[in-house]
Each structure stands twice: as C-alpha cells, then as structure tokens.
Structure 1
Amino acid sequence: MSSAQIAAIVASPDRSAADRTNDLRRKPAQMLAFIGVRPGMVALDLSAARGYTTELIARAVGPTGRVYGQNAPRDPARAQPMAREGVSGPVMPMTSTAPLTLAERAQNPATRNIIPIARPFEDPVPPEVASNGLDLVTLMFNYHDFGHMGVDRARVNRAVFAALKPGGLYVIADHAGRPGTGISESGTLHRIEEAFLRREVEAAGFRLLAEGDFLRNPADPRDRNTPEPPQPKDEFVLKFVKP
C-alpha cells in the first residue's frame, strides 16, 4: 500500500476517539507500512483484545480480504476484565468514551470483514484456514503474556506456521526486556527479551525478514514496567516469513 493509502486509513472519520488517542503511542501508519498489508489478504490478529490492530488491518485488506480477531474463550468460573491490547492491568467499566469491543468493530459497515473468534491460544486458527490459508498473522504486545499465563508458546508458533501460506508473514511487537532475562519478567515488568522471542519463533521454522525500529527508545532502562523517569517503553517489532 502507498503512504497516501495508509494515511487515509488512519484518518478514516469513523475511527473512534479512543483509537485516535492510542495512535499517539502505537504509530499505526508506520506499523501498517512495516507489516506490508495488501488488499485481499486473509489475516489473523492473535490475542486481539478489543481489536485496535484488527480494525486497522481490516481497513487495509479491504472488502476483498478478511481478518480473524482471536481471543481465548472466557472462563465462566472467573470474573476477568477485558484485556487491553498491550496494556497491563484491569480495564475500567465501559462508558460512552470507552474503546470499542471487537464485536462492535465487526458491526461497522467499513469493517464487517472482521470475524471475531474465541479459540485457545495453542489452537488459535479456525479450521477453514488452519492449513496454508493465511497471508498474515499479527501478535501485538502480548507474546510476553504467554509466559506468566502458562501458554505453550511452541504450539502457538507451530499452529501459526502451519496456517500461513509459503511467503506468509508473522509480525510480532512487544515490550523489550534486558539481555538475559528471557521471558522471566513477563508477569512483573510485562517485558520479554527480544533475542529470546526470536529464537522461539525461528524454532518453529520461521525466518526473520525485517526489524522495525519506529517504537524503539534506547533511553528506557527496561528495569520497570513503567520506565523511570517517565518515557515511552522500548518496544521492538519483528517480521518473520514462512519460507
């Protein structure tokens, strides 16, 4: 997509005020350009939460494409607040200014190509596209959560690999941890070591294609969940390809 087409997507007048606020941190134009989304793609947004990224991809793939927004099934025995994509902590009750839900986004005429799905993380892909049926999979700022949640990350990555067509893309963004910490600080600092994540994904058969630096902050000491002094978190974006 051209930069003008991406700018038009980000500027769409029917995008929510909450999403526009989130844009300041998430840099959606740079993200869409880095991913390389194209009209007609079939995509899966893993751990989609409320669907901020899902909606952007849906607008980019257009009416000839579609995007599945995956979240894990809710445990009815537990009262769990809706997780915000890439944000730690509970979400406040819905208000008129609260972010849209994934289901609400799927009702917008401009993004009716969103298909919300509830599936386990270890088996996240619906059967109709589970074997060479996807062009793109995204996972935004939640890979680290798989550590403290006890998710089998190797199974997740193998399922994504099987679902992608040859040449398909797997794009992961997350909060950077310090060298040597692996995924050990996933439940405390909500961070993951970039090299550790890369090794896990490559073990499933993926090849690293590109690294995005538009969310990096070298000044972040990476020793707290919220950096001190206050500043943006150091965040990495990695694009893998299925050979």
Structure 2
Amino acid sequence: MEKIMRIAAALLSACALALSAPVAAQAPAAAHHHAAHPALAEVLASPIRDGDRARDRWRNPAETLTFFGVEPGMTVVDFMPSGGWFSRILIPYLGAEGTYIGLNPNVGESGGPGFFQSMRNTADNFPGQAAGWVPQGGARVIGANIGSVPQELNGTVDRVMIMREIHNIRRFGWFHDLAVTLRAMLKDDGLVGVEQHRAPADAPASYVLGDNGYQREQDVIALFEAYGFELVARSNINANPADPAIWERGVWSLPPSFAGAPEGSEERARRAQIGESDRMTLLFRKRP
C-alpha cells in the first residue's frame, strides 16, 4: 500500500507540474518568419531614409515588420513616433489604401521640456510634420493623443507598434490609459508589436523601473497580460548578446548616445563594437 501511495503522489506531482508549465506561444500566420513583402525593400531603399539607414543593422525593419505581420493597406498605430524613423517606412509602405496613426500620450498643456512639448496637440501638428518626412505621400496620416482619439477609429486598427518606449510608458505612468485606448482601437484580430531594450532576467527591480531604458522581458509580458493581451509570439530578431544590458547610465551608454564615453576614447570605441542594445521583440493579441 505504501508503494502504491508513493506512486500516486508522484503522478499527482507530475500532473501539477504539467498544468503549471508555460505553454509555448503560438504565432498567428501573419507572425511567422516568411519573406518580406516586395514593396518593403523598395521603401527601405528610398532616398528619404538616407539619414536613417545606418541603424537598420540594429533595428532590422524588414524582419521586424514582417514578424509583426504589417502589410500594405493596413491601419497601423505607431505609439510615440518621435523623430519619424518608422514613419518614413510605414507611411509609404502602407500605401494609399492604408492608414498611419501617430499616437502620443496625453501630456497635458502645462510647461515641461521639449520631450513633452513635441507631443502636444498631435492631431493638429503631426500630419504636417509627417508630410515633411514623406513628401511623396502614401498612407492617410492621422495624429492623436490618448484621451482625444476620434471615436470613429475604434475597432479599425490592424496593428499597433510600440518601439523602445515601454520604459517611458512605465516611468511616466502612461500604461493604463494606453492599454485601455489600444483595446478600444484594435480590431478583434488586431495585434500589438513591441520592441524594447532588454534587461537580464535577474536584473534588480530598481534598475528596470524606466529610468535606465532596459526592461525585463517577463515584466513586459506580465504587464500586457494584466490588461487583457496574450503573448502569441516572440523573436530574437533584434537581440544583441554582446550587450551586458547593465550600464551605469542605462541604455544611453551605447550608440548612438555613448553617454559617459567621450569622443575619441577607448571606451567609446569598445561600446561602438558592442553596438546598440539587446532588444526583445514581442507580439500580443487582444483577448476578448
């Protein structure tokens, strides 16, 4: 009897482990590693990107957009488009049948540094700014701030892209409003693509609150899951194993900022050899 009890206990333990083990995320068809859309290569070679192309080796735009399943004709939200690096790709790539939405947080109307000032009144300011970046046209361009997104955009979005902004979203407390807004804007089968500077899994919590740029991958996944999104795929497209991902001045220690490494110094040369940050690339689906 004692032997039977031991076997039963072992079987119960094995079942419990099986139930608690994480299930491998299954990517939708759009997220599999297939060939990039033919139009994308032409867009990436455009002269309007001459000042951007040096960073392609670290940002891997063709592979990243293919992984996210972004295709011409879609409606895509680019959260915090900033200087327009991805705008200069997405606006011509989505084409005349597509819609590009530059979405910024609600930063209020009171003072503040240029970082915040540049994101105010996005609905009025962004379309003209984007026209300067992409003078040959392409997708319809809309600008909006969280809290003032036109109602007619709800349920129309195919893809959302959040590119290296999770640290800012966390340190400025924007995630709740952003997640609620994106859930409303996304179609039922819409996806959220995230690229973010990746901290080591065992990095201390104090290092990943936002001010250093790096985030632990497990924290980012948990944050989205808490707001009704499920991870459907992840990729190491933008990984850089040479980056230790723990720096006194955070991610800005690496190129292109080189914080704390003066021009011409050996340390700057060493960091140039490392390259840009190690990055996670994640894809989420909105749960019902």
Kept in 2: contact 1:140–1:173 (CA 8 A):
yes
Whichever residue aligns with residue 128 of structure 1, its letter is E
TM-score w.r.t. the length of structure 1 is 0.79
Match of 2:152 in 1: 128
* Runs of 4+ residues deviating >4 angstroms: 73-76, 81-84
Shift of 1:124: 6.9
- Higher mean C-alpha deviation, range 217-226 or range 103-112: 103-112
> Counterparts in 2 of 1:1-243, with a 5 A limit?
2-13=36-47, 15-72=48-105, 73=107, 75-81=109-115, 103-107=128-132, 108-111=135-138, 113-117=140-144, 119-120=145-146, 123=147, 125-130=149-154, 132-151=155-174, 153-180=175-202, 181-182=204-205, 184-224=207-247, 225=250, 226=253, 229-230=270-271, 231=274, 232-243=276-287
C-alpha distance in structure 1 between counterparts of 2:139 and 2:131, whole Å = 5
> SS of the counterpart of 1:69?
strand
C-alpha distance in structure 1 between counterparts of 2:98 and 2:192, whole Å = 17
Whichever residue aligns with residue 58 of structure 1, its letter is I
Distance 1:50 1:199, change over 3 A: same
C-alpha distance in structure 2 between counterparts of 1:106 and 1:161, whole Å = 28
For structure 2, the residue ranges without an aligned partner over 5 or more in a row are: 1-34, 119-125, 255-266
The structure number with the bigger radius of gyration is 2
Distance 1:216 1:139, change over 3 A: same
CA-based RMSD: 2.7
C-alpha distance in structure 2 between counterparts of 1:145 and 1:3, whole Å = 31
C-alpha distance in structure 1 between counterparts of 2:219 and 2:205, whole Å = 5
| Structure number with higher helix proportion | 2
Whichever residue aligns with residue 33 of structure 1, its letter is T
Distance 1:66 1:184, change over 3 A: same
State how many pairs are aligned: 221
C-alpha distance in structure 2 between counterparts of 1:217 and 1:124, whole Å = 38
For structure 1, the residue ranges without an aligned partner over 5 or more in a row are: 85-100
Distance 1:103 1:76, change over 3 A: farther
Whichever residue aligns with residue 284 of structure 2, its letter is F
